[in-house]
Amino acid sequence: MRAALWLITLFALAAAGAWLAGNNQGTVTLFLFPHRIDLSLNLAFLAVLSVVLLVVLAQRALEAFLALPKRAQRWRMQQKERASHAALLDSMGHLMAGRYLRARKAAEQTLAKETLLQTSGVLLDHAVSLRTLAHVMAAEASHALQDKVQRQQHLDQALAQVQASSGAERQTLLEGVQLRAAKWLLDDRDARASLERIHALPPAVGRRMVAMRLQLKAARLAGQPAKALETASLLAKHRAFSPVAAESLVTRLILELFAQTHDVDALQRVWKGLSAAQRLMPLVAAEAVLRWLQLGGPAATARLWLQDLWIPMQATPTTWSDGQLLRVVQAFDACLPGVEAEDALIWLSRMESAQQSGPRAAHLQYLAGMMCLRQRLWGKAQNLLGQAVKNLQAPTLRRKAWIALAELAEQRQDPVEAAAAWKQAANVSRD
C-alpha cells in the first residue's frame, strides 16, 4: 500500500513539474558588456541546479580525499583490534583442545596486541575485560601445565586489571576470577585456601550453583562433613543432582559426620540437626543407632530413633536395597528391649503383629524370634528362628540365628541339636 502511494505521489509531482515547465513563459537576461544573453527561466533553473550539484559533489570528494589518512589509520586499528580478538578466540580453542602451550602463547599475543593498541592511543571500551580474560586464559593454561609460578603471575595481573575497572563490569570480572582461583586451589588439594576464596565472595555469589559445588568439594577435602552436608542439602534442594545421587551423597556425608562423633552428646546434637527426611533414610537411622549403642547410649533412645522406620520396613521393604534392609534389621536387633524395659510389651506386640501380617518375610521372623528370645519366650523364639533361618539371605543374620538356636538347644540340654546348630553357624561364618 505504501509503495502504491509513493508511486502515485511521484506521478503527481512529475505531472505538476511538466505542466509548470511547459506553461512557464519567463526569461532570464544576463548583461555581460557589451553582450546580452537571454535564457528561458527553465534553462536558468537547470543551470543553477547543476552548478549547485557540482559544488556539493566537489566538496564531498574533497572531504573524502582529505579523510583518507584517518580512514587508513582507523582501518589499521580495526585490524589490530580484530587480531587481538582472534588471538583470544584461538587461546580458548587451543585450551578446549588440550593444546595448553599454544593456548598460553595465544593469550599472551592478545595482551601484546592490546598493548600496541593502547600505545597507539586507541582505548577500547572493553579493554579491561579483554586483558582480564586473556590473563585468565593464560593462567588456566599454566594451571593445566602445572606451572604455578606463571599461573600466579597471570592471576595477580588479572586481579590488578579488575581493580582498574568500575561498575557492574568490575563485579562480574572479580567474581569470575575468584571462582577460577578457588577451582585451581581445589585442584591443588589446598582445600582451606579454596574455601577462603569462596567465603571472600559476596553472599549472593556463594549461593550460585558453581560456587556451592566448589564449596562442597573443598569442604569434603578439608574434612568438614558438617559444612559439606549443609552445602549438599542446598544443592539437592535446587536439583543439582538426580534424586538417587543426592540421597547417596547426603547419606555418605551424614555417615562421615557420625564417624567423627566420640560421645553420645555430640551424636545426639548431630541427630537433632538432621531434617525429618534425612532421619527417615534407612542407612542414616541405622548407622546412627549402631553408633549410639557403640558409644554407650541407652537402647530406649535408639528405639525412639528407629520407630519411624518400623512401618516402612514391614510395609514396603522392597523399596530398600538389601544393604539398607540388613543395616536396619541389625540396628533393630541391637536395641531390642529386655524383660525389664518399659516398652518391651509394646515392641513385642508390634513385632508379632508384623510377623503375622508378613509370614514369609524372613527379616520380620528373625526380629520377632530375637524379641521373643529377649523376653524369655523360648518356645516362640525357637519356632520363629527355625522358620527364619531357612529363608534368610544375609550371612550375618543367618549366623546369629543359628547361634541363638544352638544356645536354646543347650538350654534344653539337647547336645545333638546344639552341635548341629553350632556346625551350621560355623559353616555360615566361612561364607
Inter-residue contact 120 to 77 (CB < 8 Å) = yes
Residue 343's pLDDT is what? Answer: 81
Instruction: Identify whether the C-beta of residue 222 lies closer than 8 Å to the C-beta of residue 195.
Output: yes
Q: What is the DSSP string of 58-84?
A: HHHHHHHHHTHHHHHHHHHHHHHHHHH
What tens digit of pLDDT does each residue of 68-118 get? 888 877 777 777 778 888 888 999 999 899 899 999 999 999 888 888 877
- The residue assigned the cell 544393604 is 323
Which cell numbers hold the place of 51? 552548478
The residue among 274, 192, 193, 287 whose CA lies nearest residue 233 is 274
pLDDT at 3 (0 to 100): 83
Q: What is the pLDDT of residue 431?
A: 46
Which pTM does this prediction carry? 0.71
Please say whether the dihedral angle defined by the alpha carbons of residues 402, 407, 413 and 418, taken in this order, is positive or negative: positive
| Residue closest to 161 by CA, chosen among 122, 124, 205 | 124
Cell digits for 406?
Answer: 544352638
Q: Quick one: which H or E segment has residue 32? A: strand 27-32
The rounded distance, in Å, linking the Cα atoms of 236 and 245 is 9
The class that CATH gives domain 336-431 is mainly alpha
Distances (CA, A) of 61 to 47, 51, 68: 21, 15, 11
> What are the backbone angles phi and psi of residue 25, rounded to the nearest 5°?
-105, 10
Where the chain has pLDDT below 70, the residues are: 17, 19-24, 122, 315-318, 429-431
User: What residue segments make up the domains of the chain, in order of their start?
Assistant: 77-118+126-165, 261-311+324-333, 336-431
Question: How many whole angstroms separate alpha carbon 307 and alpha carbon 289?
Answer: 11
C-alpha span between 353 and 345 (Å, rounded): 12
CA dihedral (401, 403, 409, 415) positive or negative: positive
Rounded to an integer, what distance in angstroms lies between the CA atom of residue 188 and that of residue 148? 10
Q: What are phi and psi of 28, to 5 degrees?
A: -125, 130
Measured distance CA(254)–CA(248) in Å, rounded: 10
Q: How many CA atoms lie within 13 A of 329 on its CB side?
A: 28
